[in-house]
């Protein structure tokens, strides 16, 4: 067995804390994982729009949502 410590997925999380997080996710039902992802996506969109509004205060909704 190697004595090299396992790298974590996030630099600011200890291996012990990450192990707890991963176990929680493993036990979580699929619908709840999907719910968490939908919430994360919603918040990301809100933050992106807030940034656009700050940088372009005169832009209308059509302009902000332009592809």
Cβ neighbours of residue 56 under 8 Å, at least 6 residues apart? 63, 64
- What is the C-alpha separation between 44 and 27, in angstroms, rounded? 26
- What is the C-alpha separation between 34 and 48, in angstroms, rounded? 21
**Residue 53 domain boundaries:** 15-64
Cβ neighbours of residue 49 under 8 Å, at least 6 residues apart? 64
Query: Is the Cβ–Cβ distance between 49 and 40 less than 8 Å?
Result: no
User: What are the pLDDT digits (tens) for 19-64?
Assistant: 999 999 999 999 999 999 999 999 999 999 999 999 999 999 888 8
Residue 52 belongs to a domain: yes
How many domains is the chain built from? 1
- Given this model, what pLDDT does residue 10 score? 86
Residue 6 belongs to a domain: no
């Amino acid at each position: 067995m190697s004595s090299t410590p396992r790298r974590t997925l996030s630099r600011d999380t200890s291996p012990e804390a990450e192990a707890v997080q991963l176990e929680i996710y493993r036990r979580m039902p699929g619908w709840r994982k999907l719910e968490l992802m939908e919430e994360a996506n919603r918040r990301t969109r809100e933050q992106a729009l807030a940034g656009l509004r700050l940088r372009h205060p005169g832009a209308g909704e059509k302009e902000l949502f332009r592809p």
